[in-house]
Amino acid sequence: MSGQADTRSASPGAEIAPRCRLSARINIRLLVLLAPISLLIALFLILPIAIMFNRALTGEDVIAAYVEVLRSPVYTTVFLTTLKISALTTIITLLLGYPVAFALRFGRPRYRAIVLMLIVLPYWLDFIVRSYSWMILLGRKGIVNELLIWIGVIDRPVKLLYSLGSVVTGMVQIMLPMMILTLFAAMLRIDARLMDAASIHGASRWRSFARVFLPLSLPGVYGASLLVFVTALGFYITPALLGGTSETMISQSMLLLASELLDWKTASIAGTLLLFVTSILVLVYNRLFSIDRLWGGS
Amino acid sequence: MGTYKITFSMNLLVGLVLFFLLFPVLVVVAISFSSAEFLTFPPPGLSLRWYEEIFSSYDWVNAFWITIKVGLLTALISVVLGVPAAFAIIRHSFFGKDMFNALILAALITPPIIKAMSIYLFYVELGLNNTIFGLALAHTVSGVPFVVINTAASLKSYDVNLERAACVHGASPLRSVLVITLPVIWAGVLVGAVFAFMQSAQELIVSIFVLGTVNRPLAVKLWEGVQVSTDPSIAAASTVLIGVAILSFLMVVLIKRRDGSLAP
């Protein structure tokens, strides 16, 4: 973008040899740069999905099959559970993540570096390992039960695992770094001079937060929440390990249908619905923020 | 002025969140050194028996190698395809750029189960199921966005005049990029490659579908282990992974520090 603007100003008086210009028109160079990755995504993401849906969803009884899936209490329950767990995860990560991102935004550089490092660290650990650690902690003989008994809240171990609580706990732990980092990146873009202006004009800290910082941070809040929500929709490992039958999420149903019941048709129908919701959210995200933001566009 | 003070209660919350994020990890590490046959925390005694068990097991060692092979291949292809794309995104404006951006985002967040089922059916036709290369290609779809994002971020803060200077002095455009630009932005590229590798190493569902249960990468082996076994050998395998993760993480931090930017 800026590369085009300063092609000339960079070397006043001297015309840069045409081959050295960075702002080539739409040409072969662009094609060479973009074709390989586009081909990969087209061939190994778009085409397979198109083939799968096309195969599963052609035929006379497609409408009937959709109606059957949508009317079956099993699948509607799974869909609703998926939405519920994803929404809960998003809300809790947001409530925990916002203050942390805020502290990072206004912390001193050293504080910022250390906290960031500790937040990113668990991001590198396998989902399986992180979910597994909750199995240890929340089990009947786990440390949480022992602690509750020791404090005297309960007098014998209670069932903590295989519940909505344990699934959401596990998913919140996994998604928190993503939420915090995305919020933090958005908060960095808020110009600190605006808060200066507010306080010069007599606003208290609270008032300048509520009237200046908070509203300006809202786009980041929406963006981060959308990203976390969409990722949560596709979760498989955590609900499978930490949830009971009533916490079954859509990915689990699809995997069961496809690999054990060999019912690819129903699995694909569930898949189109999942993909539909995901795509809408991705489009909304791209519309609102444009993923330019991901590489530091302002 | 203008900036806000970080209050004690806010610091307390930050501390609690960090504890919540890190404590479970410490538990896994502690249990891997347990002498007991079952999962209790804190462990009753210390031993290395679970490490001996996994390192003497052909299955575990083999799984480790499969993960490394698939991961390196994924990282390599991601770099080859992702770096040029980052140049296009940062340096050029072109028709359909928004759509291209959406495509990258879609590659990143299409639910794994949909990727897995569709790629499996597709590979049945191509005969790519049960191949390392096939799995690496499937993983590259999810890995390449990380390379694009990180390279683009580095390119954004790169001073193009360096490259122009080389070009004006007679280097070919390609040579100016390879000799002048790449050495400056390599940190971003490498960080992207490490992300792509980790993404591949942690991916479960596509691996299950594409490799079946004959060839198991580490994630699949862990997954099966978590479901059947209640002894700490899984914790030991996890700790090895944690070690790998921390090493690659430190690598990224060091690279970023040399690069002069600590923010991810």
Which whole number is the average pLDDT over A191-203?
A: 85
Identify whether B255 is part of a domain. yes
Confidence of residue A15 (pLDDT cuts 50, 70, 90): low
Question: How sure is the predictor about A23, in pLDDT bands with cuts at 50, 70 and 90?
Answer: low
CA–CA separation, A58 vs A201, rounded Å?
Answer: 65
What's the pLDDT score for residue A12?
A: 42
Is B10 a residue whose pLDDT tops 60?
yes
The verdict on domain A64-124+162-295 having CATH code 1.10.3720.10 is: yes
Task: Write out residues 156-175 of B within 8 Å (CB-CB) of A.
Answer: 156-157, 160-161, 163-164, 167-168, 172-173
Residue of B nearest to A137 (CA): B24
CA of A212 vs chain B CAs: smallest distance (Å) = 11
DSSP string, chain B: --SPP--HHHHHHHHHHHHHHHHHHHHHHHHHTB-SSS--SS-SSB--HHHHHHHT-HHHHHHHHHHHHHHHHHHHHHHHHHHHHHHHHHH---TTHHHHHHHHHHHHHS-HHHHHHHHHHHHHHHT-TT-HHHHHHHHHHHHHHHHHHHHHHHHHTS-HHHHHHHHHTT--HHHHIIIIIHHHHHHHHHHHHHHHHHHHHH--HHHHHHHTTTS--HHHHHHHHHHH--STHHHHHHHHHHHHHHHHHHHHHHHHHHHT----
Which range of residues forms the domain containing residue B172? Answer: 57-259
Q: What is the mean pLDDT of chain A?
A: 85
Would you tell me which residues 40-99 of chain B have a C-beta closer than 8 angstroms to some C-beta of chain A? 40-42, 77, 80-82, 84-95, 98
Give the domain ranges of chain A: 1-58, 64-124+162-295
pLDDT score for A5: 42
Measure Cα distances from A195 to A155, A180, A212, A220, B90 in Å.
Answer: 52, 22, 7, 17, 31
Nearest by CB to B101, which of A250, A259, A291? A291
Closest C-alpha among A291, A134, A201, A191 to residue B100: A291
The more confident residue out of A219 and B204 is B204
Assign A98 a pLDDT band (cuts: 50, 70, 90). Answer: very high
| Confidence (pLDDT) at A20 | 64
Q: What is the nearest CA distance from A72 to chain B, expressed in angstroms? A: 21
Contacts of B236 in chain A (CB under 8 A): none
pLDDT tens profile A230-256: 999 999 999 999 999 999 999 999 999
Chain A partners of B104 at a C-beta cutoff of 8 Å?
41, 291
Convert the pLDDT of each residue in B33-50 to its tens digit.
Answer: 887 777 777 777 888 888
Range of weakest confidence among A20-24, A71-75, A187-191, B224-228 = A20-24
Q: Which helix (H) or strand (E) holds A199?
A: helix A192-200
Nearest by CB to residue B202, choosing from A127, A137, A192, is: A127
Provide the percentage of residues in chain B whose pLDDT is more than 70: 94
Tell me what pLDDT residue B21 has.
94
- Which pLDDT score is estimated for A202? 84
Report d(CA B190, CA A240) in Å as an integer: 34
- The pLDDT assigned to A293 comes to 62
d(CA B184, CA A216): 34
Report how many domains make up chain B: 1
In this prediction, what percent of chain A has a pLDDT beyond 90?
Answer: 39
State the smallest CA–CA distance between residue B213 and chain A in angstroms. 12
pLDDT digits (tens, 9 = 90+) for B124-157: 999 999 999 999 999 999 999 999 998 998 888 8
In chain A, how long is the greatest CA-to-CA distance? 85
B132 in a structural domain: yes
Across residues B163-177, what is the average pLDDT? Answer: 84
- Interface touch A132/B234, C-beta < 8 Å: yes
CB contacts of A26 in chain B (<8 Å) are 94-95
Decide if B141 and A177 are in contact by the 8 Å CB cutoff.
no
Within-domain flag for B250: yes
> What's the pLDDT at A25?
52
Check if B8 contacts A (Cβ < 8 Å). no
Write the Ramachandran bin of A8: left for phi over 0, alpha for psi from -120 to 50, otherwise beta: alpha
Compute the distance between CA of residue A285 and CA of residue B253 in angstroms, rounded to an integer: 29
Judge whether B89 lies within some domain.
yes
pLDDT of A6 reads 41
The pLDDT of residue B65: 92
| A136–chain B nearest CA distance, Å | 7
pLDDT above 50 for A14: no
Predicted local confidence at residue A2, as pLDDT:
39
Question: How much is the average pLDDT of A137-161?
Answer: 86
User: Is there a domain that residue B18 lies in?
Assistant: no
CATH number at residue B147: 1.10.3720.10
* CB < 8 Å to A122, chain B: 21-22, 25
Q: Would you state the pLDDT for residue A1?
A: 37
Span A34-82, pLDDT tens digits:
999 999 999 999 999 999 888 877 777 788 888 888 888 888 999 999 9
Q: Which residue has the higher pLDDT, A169 or A128?
A: A169
DSSP assignment of A51-109: HHHHHHH-STTHHHHHHHHHH-HHHHHHHHHHHHHHHHHHHHHHHHHHHHHHHHHHS-H
Q: Is the pLDDT score of B213 beyond 80?
A: no
Is residue B171 predicted with pLDDT exceeding 70? yes
Beta-carbon contacts below 8 Å between A and B: 314
Query: Are residues B91 and A209, on separate chains, in Cβ contact within 8 Å?
Result: no
pLDDT in tens, B94-118: 888 888 888 888 898 899 999 999 9
- The Cα–Cα gap between B200 and A77 comes to 32
Partner-chain contact A49 B40, CB within 8 Å: no
Looking at every residue in chain B, the average pLDDT score rounds to 86
Chain A residues inside the 8 Å CB shell of B101: 286, 290-292
Which residues in chain B are contacts of A292 at CB distance < 8 A? 101
Where is mean pLDDT largest: A168-177, A205-214, A266-275?
A168-177
Question: Looking at per-residue confidence, does A20 or A192 come out higher?
Answer: A192
**What is the Cα Rg of chain B in Å?**
22
Percentage of chain A exceeding pLDDT 70: 88
**Comparing A293-297, B130-134, B186-190, which segment has the lowest mean pLDDT?**
A293-297
